[in-house]
Amino acid sequence: MTGRRDFETDEAAYLTDVAKFCDTVLLPRGDRSDTGEFFPDIITQFAELGLLELMYDEQRNLRLDRMRLIHETTELVAAAFPASVVALGALRLQGYLLKRYAQPHIAERYLEPLLRGEIYGSFGVTEPDSGTDVRSGTTVATRDGDGWILNGHKKWIGFAPVAAFNVVLAKVDHAGRDADTVALVVDLGSEGVTRSEVLDLMSFRGMPLGELHFSDVRVPAGSALKVAGQFTTGLVLKSGSPLAWLFDNGSQARHYVTKGGKDHKTGAMWGKTPPTHIFTRTVAKGKRAVVDRIKTMMLRRGATSVAGE
Protein backbone atom coordinates (compact mmCIF):
# COMPACT_ATOMS: atom_id res chain seq x y z
CA MET A 1 0.00 0.00 0.00
CA THR A 2 1.32 3.42 -0.98
CA GLY A 3 0.01 6.54 0.73
CA ARG A 4 -1.16 9.65 -1.07
CA ARG A 5 1.53 12.05 -2.15
CA ASP A 6 -0.48 14.84 -3.75
CA PHE A 7 0.52 17.04 -0.81
CA GLU A 8 3.71 17.63 -2.80
CA THR A 9 1.83 19.51 -5.51
CA ASP A 10 -1.30 20.99 -3.90
CA GLU A 11 -1.09 21.48 -0.15
CA ALA A 12 -4.37 23.41 0.04
CA ALA A 13 -6.41 20.65 -1.59
CA TYR A 14 -4.64 18.06 0.53
CA LEU A 15 -5.47 19.91 3.75
CA THR A 16 -9.10 20.20 2.63
CA ASP A 17 -9.26 16.43 2.26
CA VAL A 18 -7.59 15.88 5.63
CA ALA A 19 -10.13 18.21 7.25
CA LYS A 20 -12.99 16.28 5.61
CA PHE A 21 -11.52 13.00 6.88
CA CYS A 22 -11.32 14.47 10.39
CA ASP A 23 -14.96 15.62 10.28
CA THR A 24 -16.46 12.47 8.77
CA VAL A 25 -14.27 9.70 10.18
CA LEU A 26 -12.34 10.88 13.24
CA LEU A 27 -15.03 12.85 15.06
CA PRO A 28 -17.43 9.88 15.32
CA ARG A 29 -14.61 7.63 16.52
CA GLY A 30 -13.57 9.96 19.31
CA ASP A 31 -16.51 9.02 21.52
CA ARG A 32 -15.99 5.31 20.91
CA SER A 33 -12.34 5.46 21.91
CA ASP A 34 -13.28 6.76 25.36
CA THR A 35 -14.34 3.20 26.16
CA GLY A 36 -10.72 2.15 25.65
CA GLU A 37 -11.19 0.77 22.14
CA PHE A 38 -7.97 0.78 20.12
CA PHE A 39 -8.12 2.10 16.55
CA PRO A 40 -5.72 0.23 14.20
CA ASP A 41 -8.08 0.91 11.27
CA ILE A 42 -7.62 4.65 11.83
CA ILE A 43 -3.85 4.25 11.73
CA THR A 44 -4.22 2.36 8.44
CA GLN A 45 -6.24 5.29 7.11
CA PHE A 46 -3.56 7.71 8.34
CA ALA A 47 -1.11 5.76 6.18
CA GLU A 48 -3.43 5.72 3.17
CA LEU A 49 -3.94 9.46 3.48
CA GLY A 50 -0.19 10.02 3.52
CA LEU A 51 -0.08 11.42 7.05
CA LEU A 52 2.77 9.10 8.05
CA GLU A 53 4.88 9.99 5.00
CA LEU A 54 4.82 13.78 5.12
CA MET A 55 8.40 14.13 6.31
CA TYR A 56 9.87 11.93 3.54
CA ASP A 57 10.25 12.15 -0.20
CA GLU A 58 9.56 9.09 -2.35
CA GLN A 59 13.14 7.87 -1.86
CA ARG A 60 12.60 8.14 1.91
CA ASN A 61 14.95 11.04 2.36
CA LEU A 62 13.90 13.28 5.22
CA ARG A 63 12.04 16.45 4.23
CA LEU A 64 11.92 18.46 7.43
CA ASP A 65 11.08 21.56 5.41
CA ARG A 66 7.51 20.21 5.48
CA MET A 67 7.15 20.95 9.20
CA ARG A 68 4.48 23.58 8.56
CA LEU A 69 2.32 21.03 6.70
CA ILE A 70 2.97 18.42 9.39
CA HIS A 71 1.89 20.94 12.02
CA GLU A 72 -1.31 21.83 10.15
CA THR A 73 -2.36 18.20 9.78
CA THR A 74 -1.57 17.55 13.43
CA GLU A 75 -3.87 20.38 14.51
CA LEU A 76 -6.72 19.04 12.38
CA VAL A 77 -6.41 15.51 13.76
CA ALA A 78 -6.04 16.72 17.35
CA ALA A 79 -9.23 18.77 17.17
CA ALA A 80 -11.24 15.77 15.98
CA PHE A 81 -9.83 12.79 17.86
CA PRO A 82 -7.19 13.61 20.52
CA ALA A 83 -6.17 10.02 21.28
CA SER A 84 -5.41 9.38 17.63
CA VAL A 85 -3.09 12.37 17.36
CA VAL A 86 -1.01 10.90 20.20
CA ALA A 87 -0.65 7.77 18.09
CA LEU A 88 0.11 9.79 14.96
CA GLY A 89 2.81 11.81 16.70
CA ALA A 90 4.36 8.69 18.22
CA LEU A 91 4.54 6.93 14.86
CA ARG A 92 6.06 9.97 13.21
CA LEU A 93 8.68 10.19 15.96
CA GLN A 94 9.52 6.49 15.67
CA GLY A 95 9.91 6.77 11.92
CA TYR A 96 12.16 9.79 12.29
CA LEU A 97 14.34 8.02 14.86
CA LEU A 98 14.72 5.02 12.56
CA LYS A 99 15.57 7.07 9.49
CA ARG A 100 17.79 9.63 11.15
CA TYR A 101 19.63 7.60 13.79
CA ALA A 102 19.29 3.84 13.20
CA GLN A 103 21.71 1.66 11.29
CA PRO A 104 20.50 1.02 7.72
CA HIS A 105 19.58 -2.62 8.33
CA ILE A 106 17.37 -1.60 11.29
CA ALA A 107 15.66 1.17 9.33
CA GLU A 108 15.12 -1.14 6.37
CA ARG A 109 13.47 -3.72 8.60
CA TYR A 110 10.97 -1.45 10.32
CA LEU A 111 10.45 1.84 8.49
CA GLU A 112 8.36 0.77 5.50
CA PRO A 113 5.83 -1.35 7.44
CA LEU A 114 5.62 1.47 10.01
CA LEU A 115 4.77 4.00 7.30
CA ARG A 116 2.16 1.63 5.90
CA GLY A 117 0.51 1.38 9.32
CA GLU A 118 1.20 -2.34 9.50
CA ILE A 119 3.39 -2.27 12.61
CA TYR A 120 3.91 0.11 15.53
CA GLY A 121 7.00 1.10 17.42
CA SER A 122 7.31 2.40 20.96
CA PHE A 123 9.69 4.61 22.91
CA GLY A 124 10.85 3.26 26.28
CA VAL A 125 11.88 6.07 28.60
CA THR A 126 9.72 6.11 31.73
CA GLU A 127 10.01 3.51 34.51
CA PRO A 128 7.93 2.68 37.60
CA ASP A 129 10.15 4.80 39.85
CA SER A 130 11.36 7.41 37.39
CA GLY A 131 9.78 9.61 34.79
CA THR A 132 11.61 11.57 32.13
CA ASP A 133 14.69 11.94 34.33
CA VAL A 134 16.60 9.12 32.65
CA ARG A 135 19.42 9.55 35.16
CA SER A 136 17.21 7.95 37.80
CA GLY A 137 16.31 4.96 35.63
CA THR A 138 17.52 1.45 36.44
CA THR A 139 17.26 -0.27 33.06
CA VAL A 140 20.79 -1.39 32.16
CA ALA A 141 22.35 -2.53 28.89
CA THR A 142 25.56 -4.49 29.57
CA ARG A 143 28.08 -4.85 26.80
CA ASP A 144 28.31 -8.39 25.45
CA GLY A 145 30.93 -8.51 22.72
CA ASP A 146 29.59 -6.25 19.98
CA GLY A 147 26.03 -6.59 21.32
CA TRP A 148 24.17 -6.00 24.57
CA ILE A 149 22.37 -7.80 27.39
CA LEU A 150 19.34 -5.77 28.48
CA ASN A 151 17.64 -5.89 31.88
CA GLY A 152 14.99 -3.54 33.23
CA HIS A 153 11.40 -2.42 33.36
CA LYS A 154 9.63 0.32 31.42
CA LYS A 155 6.13 1.58 32.27
CA TRP A 156 3.47 3.89 30.76
CA ILE A 157 4.82 3.20 27.28
CA GLY A 158 2.62 4.10 24.32
CA PHE A 159 1.94 1.18 21.95
CA ALA A 160 3.83 -1.22 24.27
CA PRO A 161 1.08 -3.90 24.29
CA VAL A 162 0.97 -4.03 20.47
CA ALA A 163 4.34 -2.74 19.25
CA ALA A 164 6.83 -4.65 17.10
CA PHE A 165 9.85 -2.85 18.53
CA ASN A 166 10.84 -0.51 21.32
CA VAL A 167 13.52 2.16 21.40
CA VAL A 168 14.82 1.49 24.91
CA LEU A 169 16.72 4.21 26.70
CA ALA A 170 19.11 2.39 29.07
CA LYS A 171 22.15 2.95 31.24
CA VAL A 172 25.40 1.42 30.01
CA ASP A 173 26.91 -1.30 32.24
CA HIS A 174 25.60 0.07 35.56
CA ALA A 175 22.62 1.99 36.97
CA GLY A 176 24.48 4.89 38.55
CA ARG A 177 23.42 8.44 37.73
CA ASP A 178 26.78 9.02 36.08
CA ALA A 179 26.38 6.08 33.68
CA ASP A 180 26.46 6.66 29.96
CA THR A 181 23.16 6.07 28.17
CA VAL A 182 22.31 4.15 25.02
CA ALA A 183 19.15 3.95 22.92
CA LEU A 184 18.62 0.42 21.62
CA VAL A 185 16.09 -0.71 19.01
CA VAL A 186 14.76 -3.92 20.59
CA ASP A 187 12.63 -6.51 18.80
CA LEU A 188 9.74 -7.10 21.22
CA GLY A 189 9.51 -10.68 20.01
CA SER A 190 12.93 -11.39 21.52
CA GLU A 191 13.37 -14.03 24.20
CA GLY A 192 13.26 -12.44 27.64
CA VAL A 193 10.79 -9.68 26.71
CA THR A 194 7.41 -9.70 28.41
CA ARG A 195 4.70 -7.08 28.18
CA SER A 196 1.57 -6.19 30.07
CA GLU A 197 -1.97 -5.87 28.88
CA VAL A 198 -3.20 -2.35 28.21
CA LEU A 199 -3.01 -0.28 31.39
CA ASP A 200 -6.33 1.16 32.53
CA LEU A 201 -5.32 4.77 32.97
CA MET A 202 -7.14 8.07 33.10
CA SER A 203 -5.63 9.42 29.91
CA PHE A 204 -6.31 9.49 26.18
CA ARG A 205 -8.20 6.22 26.26
CA GLY A 206 -7.91 4.04 23.20
CA MET A 207 -4.19 4.75 22.86
CA PRO A 208 -2.68 1.53 24.32
CA LEU A 209 -0.15 2.12 27.09
CA GLY A 210 1.61 -0.70 28.88
CA GLU A 211 4.67 -2.10 30.62
CA LEU A 212 7.73 -3.83 29.20
CA HIS A 213 10.03 -6.16 31.15
CA PHE A 214 13.47 -7.09 29.88
CA SER A 215 15.20 -10.09 31.43
CA ASP A 216 18.62 -10.93 29.98
CA VAL A 217 17.45 -9.90 26.52
CA ARG A 218 20.18 -10.29 23.91
CA VAL A 219 20.27 -7.25 21.66
CA PRO A 220 22.38 -7.67 18.50
CA ALA A 221 25.26 -5.46 17.47
CA GLY A 222 24.19 -2.50 15.38
CA SER A 223 20.97 -1.95 17.34
CA ALA A 224 22.05 1.29 19.04
CA LEU A 225 20.80 4.59 17.66
CA LYS A 226 23.46 7.10 16.69
CA VAL A 227 22.24 9.75 19.12
CA ALA A 228 25.46 10.81 20.81
CA GLY A 229 24.98 14.40 21.97
CA GLN A 230 21.20 14.45 21.49
CA PHE A 231 20.45 13.39 25.07
CA THR A 232 22.00 15.38 27.87
CA THR A 233 20.83 15.48 31.50
CA GLY A 234 17.60 13.57 31.80
CA LEU A 235 15.31 13.68 28.79
CA VAL A 236 16.60 17.05 27.67
CA LEU A 237 17.31 17.22 23.97
CA LYS A 238 20.18 19.16 22.52
CA SER A 239 19.05 22.63 21.56
CA GLY A 240 18.87 23.16 17.82
CA SER A 241 18.50 19.53 16.80
CA PRO A 242 15.60 18.42 14.59
CA LEU A 243 14.95 15.72 17.19
CA ALA A 244 14.32 18.45 19.76
CA TRP A 245 11.89 20.14 17.37
CA LEU A 246 10.01 16.90 16.63
CA PHE A 247 9.89 15.57 20.16
CA ASP A 248 10.18 18.42 22.63
CA ASN A 249 8.55 21.42 20.96
CA GLY A 250 5.63 21.41 23.40
CA SER A 251 7.75 21.73 26.52
CA GLN A 252 9.94 24.36 24.87
CA ALA A 253 6.85 26.37 24.00
CA ARG A 254 5.56 26.15 27.56
CA HIS A 255 8.98 27.22 28.80
CA TYR A 256 8.94 30.18 26.42
CA VAL A 257 5.64 31.43 27.83
CA THR A 258 6.19 30.71 31.51
CA LYS A 259 9.83 31.76 31.72
CA GLY A 260 9.85 34.49 29.11
CA GLY A 261 11.75 32.26 26.71
CA LYS A 262 14.92 32.28 28.82
CA ASP A 263 17.19 29.27 28.98
CA HIS A 264 17.82 28.16 32.57
CA LYS A 265 21.58 28.48 32.05
CA THR A 266 22.18 31.14 29.41
CA GLY A 267 19.13 33.36 29.85
CA ALA A 268 18.31 33.16 26.15
CA MET A 269 16.12 30.88 24.06
CA TRP A 270 17.59 29.70 20.76
CA GLY A 271 20.35 32.27 21.02
CA LYS A 272 18.17 35.35 21.33
CA THR A 273 16.45 37.12 24.19
CA PRO A 274 12.73 37.08 23.33
CA PRO A 275 10.31 40.00 23.59
CA THR A 276 8.67 38.88 26.83
CA HIS A 277 6.36 41.91 26.92
CA ILE A 278 4.60 40.59 23.81
CA PHE A 279 3.69 37.41 25.68
CA THR A 280 2.57 39.39 28.71
CA ARG A 281 0.15 41.41 26.61
CA THR A 282 -0.95 38.36 24.64
CA VAL A 283 -1.80 36.34 27.73
CA ALA A 284 -4.04 39.17 28.87
CA LYS A 285 -5.92 39.05 25.57
CA GLY A 286 -6.83 35.38 25.84
CA LYS A 287 -5.59 31.86 25.38
CA ARG A 288 -6.20 31.65 21.64
CA ALA A 289 -3.76 34.45 21.00
CA VAL A 290 -1.19 32.61 23.12
CA VAL A 291 -1.69 29.45 21.09
CA ASP A 292 -1.32 31.37 17.82
CA ARG A 293 1.85 33.05 19.03
CA ILE A 294 3.35 29.74 20.15
CA LYS A 295 2.42 28.16 16.83
CA THR A 296 4.10 30.92 14.85
CA MET A 297 7.22 30.75 16.97
CA MET A 298 7.48 26.96 16.86
CA LEU A 299 7.07 26.91 13.08
CA ARG A 300 9.87 29.47 12.85
CA ARG A 301 11.92 27.27 15.15
CA GLY A 302 11.33 24.29 12.88
CA ALA A 303 12.47 26.23 9.85
CA THR A 304 15.69 27.35 11.56
CA SER A 305 16.40 23.78 12.71
CA VAL A 306 16.12 22.56 9.14
CA ALA A 307 18.34 25.38 7.93
CA GLY A 308 20.94 24.50 10.57
CA GLU A 309 20.75 27.91 12.24
Residue 305 confidence (pLDDT): 56
Closest among 259, 261, 258 to 300, alpha carbons compared: 261
Instruction: State how far the Cα of 1 lies from the Cα of 206, in Å rounded to an integer.
Output: 25
Burial 117-131 (b: 16+ CB within 10 A, else e): bebbbbbbbbbeebe
**CATH classification for the domain delimited by 121-219, as one of 2.40.110.10, 3.90.650.10, 3.50.50.100, 1.10.600.10:** 2.40.110.10
Q: Where are the alpha helices (DSSP H) in the chain?
A: 11-21, 27-33, 40-49, 67-80, 82-101, 104-115, 242-258, 276-285, 287-307
Residue 35 confidence (pLDDT): 82
Return the domain boundaries, the chain.
6-115, 121-219, 242-307
Q: For the segment 95-137, what is each residue's pLDDT rounded down to a tens digit?
A: 999 999 999 999 999 999 999 999 999 999 999 998 777 788 9
Q: What average pLDDT does the segment 194-208 reach?
A: 86
Q: What average pLDDT does the segment 199-206 reach?
A: 79
Residue 49 confidence (pLDDT): 96
- The residues near 36 (Cβ < 8 Å, ≥ 6 apart) are 198, 200, 205, 206
Who wins on pLDDT, 215 or 33?
Answer: 215
Who wins on pLDDT, 259 or 158?
Answer: 158
At how many degrees (to 10) do helices 67-80 and 82-101 cross? Answer: 150
Residue 219 has pLDDT above 90, yes or no: yes
Question: Which class does domain 6-115 fall in?
Answer: mainly alpha
Residue 254 has pLDDT above 60, yes or no: no
Q: What average pLDDT does the segment 146-167 reach?
A: 97
Residue 51 has pLDDT above 90, yes or no: yes
For 47, counting Cβ atoms within 10 Å of its Cβ (0-12 exposed, 13-18 middle, 19+ buried), the class is: buried
Residue 117 confidence (pLDDT): 96
Kindly give the pairing relationship between strand 165-172 and strand 209-219.
Answer: unpaired
Residue 34 confidence (pLDDT): 77
Residue 285 confidence (pLDDT): 47
> What is this structure's pTM?
0.77
Least confident range of 138-142, 271-275, 283-287: 271-275
Whether 121-219 and 6-115 are alike in CATH topology: the answer is: no
Instruction: State how far the Cα of 80 lies from the Cα of 39, in Å rounded to an integer.
Output: 14
Q: For the segment 157-198, what is each residue's pLDDT rounded down to a tens digit?
A: 999 999 999 999 999 999 998 899 999 999 999 999 999 999
Q: Provide the pLDDT confidence category of residue 204 given band limits of 50, 70 and 90.
A: confident
Residue 32 confidence (pLDDT): 80
Closest among 130, 192, 198, 128 to 158, alpha carbons compared: 198
Residue 229 confidence (pLDDT): 47
Q: Provide the pLDDT confidence category of residue 4 given band limits of 50, 70 and 90.
A: confident
SS3 217: strand
Q: What average pLDDT does the segment 79-108 reach?
A: 94
The residues that bridge with 176 in the sheet, in sequence order, are: none
Who wins on pLDDT, 266 or 49?
Answer: 49
Residue 240 has pLDDT above 90, yes or no: no
Q: What average pLDDT does the segment 217-231 reach?
A: 84
Residue 270 has pLDDT above 60, yes or no: no
Q: What angle do CA 294, 298, 299 make, to 5 degrees?
A: 120
Percent of the chain exceeding pLDDT 90 equals: 59
Q: What angle do CA 98, 144, 138 make, to 5 degrees?
A: 70
Return mean pLDDT, the chain: 81
